[in-house]
C-alpha cells in the first residue's frame, strides 16, 4: 500500500505552489519533476494505490527513454519490468511477427505506485482517496475543493495541474472548456488473467484486429496476462459482453482461449478518442489523457503523458514565481507541436484498423516487404525532444 504523507485537514491550511489532480503517469512524473524544483507540490488522487487500470501496460521506447533521462530507470529494474522483444500482429488468421527494440511491460499497479513513492521521496505530498474539484480563481491562486468521505475542505494553489485522465472532466465541469469526442469512437476494455495458456509467452506482445475491435495480450512481470482492447460499442452489444467479443476476436485467429476469458471481470473505459478545446487557462494546465487521447493501438498513451509532464514542468515553475497569461498560450503551442502532431499517425492507424481485411492485406504486404514496418517501429521508439529538457 502507498500511504499518503499528509492528511486532508492539513491540506486546508496552506497555499500550495502546485496541486496536481490525478496520480497516473502524467501526474506522477510531473510531481517528481516539480518537487525536484523545490516547489510545494500536493498530488491528489480519488483512488488508493496500488490500483489497476485498463491499459496494455507497454512502455514504448519514447516512454522508456523519458524515464531513463529523468533518472527513474530503477522503477523498471526494481519492479522486474519485462522487455518486449517482438510483436505478433494478427488479423483474420494471418499473422506477422516483427522485432521491437525498446518496449518494456510493467503493470500499472507497480508503475503508478512507484512514481508516487518517488514523488514523495523528492518532497511532494500525496493524498489518496480524495476527489478534487476546481473552485474559484482568485487574483493569486486557484481554489480546489478536496473531498474525502464526509470531509470536504477548500485548498488553494498558485497553479493547478489537471492530470485526471480519460474520464476526468475537471475543467469541463467548471465550464472552462468543452470535451469533444469523436463520433465513431471505440470504447476501451481490459482485464488480467491469472493462469493463461503458455502460447502467450513472456516478452511477446500479441495483437489481433478483427470484426468489432482489436485486443492486445501481454505477460506482466508477475506472469499474469494483461488483455487490453478497443471495441465498437455495437459489437459489444451484439456479442452480449466484452469477454464474449474478446473471445470471438481470439477465435478469429485460432489463438488459444484463456479459460475464464468470458467470466473474468472485464472493465470498460469512456470513449477512447476525444480532446478538450483548451489545454490551459489562467493558473491552470492540462496534461495526459485529460487533454486528449487517441485509440491505444500504438501504445503511446503513457509516452504522451510523460512528454506532457516533462514539457509543462518548466512553465509551471515560471508560473509559480510569477503568473503571466503568456504561459497558457505557450503550453497550448507546445502541446500542439509535440503531442497533437505526434498523435496524428495513431489517428491514421486507428482509422485503418476499422477494416480487418485491409489489415490482413497489410500484413501480407509487410510479410513480403518487412522493411516497411521499420519506420513505424522507429517512430514509436524515438524519444520526443522533451527528453532533452529534463
Ligand atoms: C485499452 C487501453 C490500452 C492501453 N494500452 C496502452 C499501452 O500499452 N501503452 C501506453 O503507453 N498507453 C496505453 N494506454 C493509454 C494509457 O493507459 C493512458 O494514456 C495513460 O494512463 C494516461 O495517463 P494519465 O496520467 O493521463 O491518466 P490516468 O492514468 O488515467 O490517471 C488519471 C488519474 O486521475 C485520477 N482522477 C481522475 N479524476 C480525479 C479527480 N477529480 N480527483 C482526484 N483524482 C482524479 C484517477 O483516479 C486516475 O488515477 C491504453 C489505454 C487503454 C484504454
User: Where along the chain do its domains lie?
Assistant: 8-183+272-389
Is the bond into 50 cis (omega within 30 degrees of 0)? yes
For the record, the C-alpha cell of 147 comes out as: 473531498
Cα–Cα distance measured from residue 3 to residue 6, given in angstroms and rounded to the nearest whole number:
9
Cα–Cα distance measured from residue 350 to residue 355, given in angstroms and rounded to the nearest whole number:
10
CATH architecture, range 8-183+272-389 = 3-Layer(bba) Sandwich (3.50)
Ligand 1, residue 300: give the atom nearest the CA: 11
- CA of 371 from ligand 1 middle (Å) equals 33
Q: Give yes or no for residue 213 CB within 6 A of ligand 1.
A: no
Q: Give yes or no for residue 166 CB within 6 A of ligand 1.
A: yes
Q: Give yes or no for residue 172 CB within 6 A of ligand 1.
A: no
Reading the chain (390 residues) residue by residue, the pLDDT tens digits are 999 999 999 998 789 999 999 999 999 999 999 999 999 999 999 999 999 999 999 999 999 999 999 999 999 999 999 999 999 999 888 899 988 888 999 999 999 999 999 999 999 999 999 999 999 999 999 999 999 999 999 999 999 999 999 988 898 888 888 888 776 688 999 999 999 999 999 999 999 999 999 999 999 999 999 999 999 999 999 999 999 999 999 999 999 999 999 999 999 998 888 888 899 999 999 999 999 888 766 778 999 999 999 999 999 999 999 999 999 999 999 999 888 877 777 777 777 777 777 777 777 777 777 777 777 666 656 655 544 444
Q: Which of 153, 285, 296 has most ligand 1 atoms within 8 Å of its beta carbon, as the pocket-test mutant?
A: 296
**Ligand 1 atom 33: residue of nearest CA:** 22
Ligand 1, residue 228: give the atom nearest the CA: 1
Q: How far is CA 257 from CA 39, 191, 268, 320, 360, in A?
A: 50, 14, 20, 53, 21
Write down the pTM of the prediction: 0.94
Q: How far is CA 234 from CA 174, 186, 189, 240, 352, in A?
A: 32, 9, 14, 10, 18
Cα–Cα distance measured from residue 311 to residue 89, given in angstroms and rounded to the nearest whole number:
33
For the record, the C-alpha cell of 227 comes out as: 488483455
Amino acid at each position: 500500500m502507498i500511504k499518503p504523507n499528509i492528511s486532508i485537514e492539513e491540506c486546508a491550511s496552506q497555499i500550495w505552489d502546485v496541486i496536481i489532480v490525478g496520480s497516473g503517469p502524467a501526474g506522477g512524473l510531473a510531481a517528481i519533476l516539480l518537487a525536484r524544483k523545490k516547489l510545494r507540490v500536493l498530488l491528489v488522487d480519488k483512488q488508493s494505490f496500488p490500483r489497476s487500470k485498463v491499459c496494455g501496460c507497454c512502455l514504448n521506447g519514447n516512454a522508456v527513454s523519458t524515464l531513463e533521462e529523468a533518472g527513474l530507470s530503477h522503477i523498471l529494474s526494481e519492479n522486474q519490468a519485462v522487455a518486449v522483444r517482438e510483436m505478433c500482429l494478427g488479423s483474420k488468421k494471418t499473422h506477422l511477427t516483427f522485432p521491437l527494440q525498446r518496449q518494456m511491460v510493467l503493470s500499472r499497479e507497480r508503475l503508478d505506485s512507484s512514481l508516487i513513492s518517488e514523488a514523495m521521496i523528492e518532497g511532494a505530498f500525496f493524498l489518496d482517496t480524495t476527489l478534487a474539484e476546481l473552485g474559484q480563481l482568485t487574483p493569486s491562486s486557484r481554489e480546489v475543493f478536496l473531498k474525502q468521505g464526509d470531509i470536504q475542505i477548500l485548498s488553494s494553489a498558485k497553479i493547478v495541474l489537471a492530470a485526471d485522465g480519460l474520464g476526468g472532466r475537471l475543467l469541463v465541469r467548471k465550464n472552462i472548456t468543452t470535451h469533444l469526442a469523436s463520433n465513431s469512437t471505440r470504447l476501451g476494455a481490459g482485464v488480467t488473467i491469472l493462469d493463461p495458456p503458455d502460447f502467450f509467452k513472456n516478452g511477446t506482445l500479441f495483437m489481433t484486429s478483427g470484426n468489432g475491435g482489436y485486443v492486445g495480450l501481454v505477460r506482466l512481470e508477475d506472469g499474469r496476462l494483461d488483455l487490453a482492447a478497443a471495441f465498437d460499442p455495437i459489437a459489444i452489444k451484439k456479442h452480449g459482453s466484452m469477454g464474449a467479443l474478446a473471445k470471438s476476436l481470439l477465435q478469429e485467429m485460432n489463438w488459444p482461449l484463456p479459460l475464464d476469458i468470458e467470466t473474468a471481470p472485464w472493465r470498460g473505459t469512456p470513449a477512447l478518442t476525444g480532446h478538450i478545446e483548451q489545454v490551459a487557462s489562467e493558473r491552470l494546465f492540462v496534461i495526459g489523457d485529460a487533454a486528449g487521447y487517441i485509440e491505444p493501438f500504438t501504445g503511446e498513451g503513457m509516452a504522451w503523458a510523460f512528454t506532457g509532464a516533462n514539457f509543462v514542468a518548466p512553465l509551471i515553475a515560471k508560473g509559480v514565481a510569477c503568473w503571466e497569461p503568456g504561459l497558457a498560450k505557450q503550453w497550448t503551442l507546445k502541446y500542439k507541436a509535440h503531442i497533437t502532431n505526434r498523435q496524428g499517425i495513431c489517428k491514421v492507424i486507428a482509422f485503418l484498423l476499422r477494416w480487418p481485411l485491409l489489415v490482413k492485406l497489410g500484413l501480407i504486404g509487410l510479410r513480403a516487404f518487412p522493411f516497411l514496418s521499420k519506420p513505424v517501429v522507429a517512430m514509436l521508439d524515438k524519444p520526443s525532444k522533451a527528453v532533452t529538457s529534463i
